[in-house]
Structure 1
């Protein structure tokens, strides 16, 4: 009887371990961003950035991303690592080892005949706290047969496992696609802490049939609420600038993202950015650029103004005087200065220097 009890206990432990790896899912918040579309040798080369959130708490270590044309995506259900025949007309595969430092793998464990995209790619991760990491793979080339008449829709999925065993590693989590590249090329998305507010700015380098941007915020990088909406220009090949002010940010961490909506209702999310609005958070931002009347106005919070310096582009220091009203400062050069670009620097205590370019007209 003792042997039977031991066997039953072992089976229960193994079953519990299997369930804990499969549930909850370790992947969320996937995003495809379009870098460029070019014609080359009669083919359409689509270069994209792919990012997703990976929860490392439950032991999963490896992640694999697959890309298809949306029209050929078969909506698969993986129980084990898919082979080349099971993947079908896949455009590219990316293999990732999530150990710190996160890295790309040159081989695909489930099927050695599948060669992951490796050369020329970059990978990075951002610690979101609580065991969650935002993993970003950039400069991924996807080759579509035929010239680019329109920007093709791309779908991707990503799956995770704790094993890199060549003997068909089990799929513990699958995050399916519905990730289509929108006709909006987002060049940047930044946030800056001001005095009791957060300034968000972003730029697009190409828009085709875009409708609007919804600005969303979260306290935990999971549950988001909409703060506002900015209408898009619709169609443009020029660089366009957008801004939004969160006048009442949350105390502590604020996570922001853009919901980029196309005219036909398709939408995608931008990358997520985090702004710390804690009681000791440092704020350093220009209040007007170009400068007005040879005076540079800036916001400085939770740092000493004695750590601020001004240089011209040759690296020569510019002597100045400062006046202060609350957290706002006005800098006046003591001697006459030439028109041009100057560098305003803040040497933070026990932290990296922050530099701002300012134009003196």
Structure 2
């Protein structure tokens, strides 16, 4: 009996050592309990590098069959993560490599993490990747939302280089679309308003995308009564 116990302990230590050798943190290797016979996906790696003042992020998934999408979150030295983009899950049950480029890095340290949202609402976070940019922050302003927390309406402000029509969507943390509309932006700084009637209290994020999909803004907000 002692021999069996010792063997089990050695197996656990060897498994933990293998994860560390592969560069996986407990968060990166975290999996949720299987639901409805779906085996949770495993994040094998998440890293990045800076090239020409752009952050090039890449991550590798395995056994991915139930992923809704990945939310790319970024924080600077002042703290507080913002959602800067969303990448749809490909759900290849073999090994899948994802890539994302952030061309608007903050000056100084940029801390990136992934929030993986499954179709059944389970959320997992990756490890944090720190990339440094010595360039001055890009002059193109990002979208701002206010008030935050919001009660009945939410305003957003964004600078558009030219007149264009955009799709405005609100998602909850499970990745479900709760609101969709279209709005017209004019050249210059735009201030738009959307109604939050019907939304329950909680955390959401606002996504504004032009019709070509080449411009995208994402910001989180909180809905309160």
Instruction: Bin the TM-score by the shorter chain.
Output: 0.3 to 0.5
- Of structures 1 and 2, the one with the larger relative CO (CA 8 A, separation 6+) is 2
User: Whose Rg is larger?
Assistant: 1
